[in-house]
Amino acid sequence: MKRLTLTRKALACAAAGALVASFGVAGAYAQSAAEVAVEAAKKYAGETLNVTWEAGLQALDPLNFSGPKWEELTGVKINVVEIPISELFTKTEAEHRARTGAFDVLNVVPAWMPDLVAAGALEPLDAFVDEFGYRDELDDIAPTYRDNQMTVGGKIYGLPDDGDVFLLYYRTDLFGDEAHQTAFKEKYGYDLAPPEDWEQFYDISQYFSEALGPDGHGSALIHSPGLVHYLYLMRFRTEGGRLFDDDMNAQINGEIGAAVLADMVRQLENMPKGAAGWGPIEVLNAWLAGDLAMQIWWPPPGRWSAGYGAEVEALSWLPKSTIAGKVGYALPPGGYPELAAGFALSVAAGSEKKELAYLFAQWLNSKEISIQRVTLPFALRDPFRTSHFESEEYKALWPAAGDYLDALQQGAETGLLDLSIIDTFAYEESLTRAIVSALAGGDPQAALDEAAEEWNELTQEIGVDDQRAAYEDWASKPGAYPQ
């Protein structure tokens, strides 16, 4: 249904008048963003919103908590459409092209936004943000997420809703052991501490692989297809690499890129057998079992390592942590962690319930409700607001929760934005093939040369000028490259 600006403005004035009449001037202006959304949505009682969400633990938030709570407050039902992450983009795009109007609220990985906006699949949200007084609360979203994951071409298309960022986790009992500290310094000439660069990461990993014997290893990292490119792109940019030159020729196979991939292969020397193909679950299992001295993952292991939520049935699949109280948190080597996916809440352009869909997204994303959602032990939404990082409630969840939030806030200040250009998936798939080939024993330079050639062909097919415009828009954002 086409939105009419004048009608919307008139309705906004009428709604404001009604609020003042009902609650008084002070009461109307004292309402939180969550309360505003609830009051505005009550006139839609009896309606149902179809909301896409990543299948699995992520979906337990709207299924078990936010969906039922919203229905209780507004009378509006939430139908959660669970979709595997590998199909979420394609099904969102396919539904839009089919124009079925089947989806109302969309969970969108921010890197997908340019492609979805170009396809006309996302509704611009600026008018809603202003009408329902949400702009001030956007300031509380950490700048890295707000400035990088919310807009395309200067317009708002999504509300950043998940603080995904890579963290380094390390064993404080091992790093703080006096015997290990002395032996390490004697061998390497500097103090044992969380690694500041990848050479130190190698040294520390090598030391603990030797010191722990057959029952332990220095480290493990996520190397599985579909995810390993995050590690490469984080390292590549932290080392000073640029993805394209001024003529839009790929630079991933240059001196920096080849050195990064060669070192990723070298780091395998201090990891468990088969770690070249390990995904998140293998790394997590080894970590919780106490088999690793350090590893890099998204925020959830910070909670799970401490045993937070262990009694919840939805987490019964998770191995019991053997390292509770023995975990430290830091940024990955170089200090510029990859944001690595994340989610934003968007409104489907084909929805016939755009206003209601936006109101649910505002309510979910609000300061008041989002702190409840990011502290759910069974869901995977991670802190993304300044108020989350400063929350005394969150800091009380386990003894080291304050240190965890401090590390997340640091990551939210220096995090690197995922590549987001036209047909990003194709570029990532090409790069992934090169990385996997090298990790399996292939020549890093030859693998990257092939990927760079594929990148250049993709750019020619898309159109150099069009891709340059998309790349320059992405590269202009503060998190595209280290500042």
> Per-residue pLDDT tens for 186-218?
999 999 999 999 999 999 999 999 999 888 999
* Residue 404, both tokens: 């965890």
* Residue 471, both tokens: 């790349």
Which phi and psi angles does 292 have, rounded to 5°?
A: -125, 145
Which of 18-27, 55-64, 90-99 shows the lowest mean pLDDT across its residues? Answer: 18-27
* Residue 354, both tokens: 């755009």
pLDDT of residue 379: 86
pLDDT at residue 356 above 50? yes
Question: Whole-model pTM?
Answer: 0.91
pLDDT of residue 448: 98
Percent of the chain past pLDDT 90, that is, above it, reads 88
pLDDT of residue 8: 33
Domains, the chain, in order of start with CATH, read: 31-160+344-380 (3.40.190.10), 164-341+398-483 (3.40.190.10)
Single-letter code of the amino acid located at 457: E
Which phi and psi angles does 334 have, rounded to 5°?
A: 100, -25
pLDDT of residue 13: 38
pLDDT at residue 2 above 50? no
pLDDT at residue 49 above 80? yes
* Interstrand relation of 159-160 and 344-347 (parallel, antiparallel or unpaired): antiparallel
pLDDT of residue 21: 35
pLDDT at residue 86 above 80? yes
Residue 15: which pLDDT band, with cuts at 50, 70 and 90?
very low
What's the distance, CA 185 to chain centroid?
A: 36
Rounded Cα distance between 300 and 351, Å, is 33
pLDDT of residue 12: 37
pLDDT at residue 28 above 50? no
pLDDT of residue 240: 97
Q: Pseudo-torsion of CA 4, 360, 89, 280, nearest 10°?
A: 160
Residue 143: which pLDDT band, with cuts at 50, 70 and 90?
very high
pLDDT at residue 33 above 90? yes
pLDDT at residue 461 above 70? yes
Which position has the higher pLDDT, 102 or 12? 102
Which of 21-30, 36-45, 244-253 shows the lowest mean pLDDT across its residues? Answer: 21-30
CA distance from start to end of the chain: 43
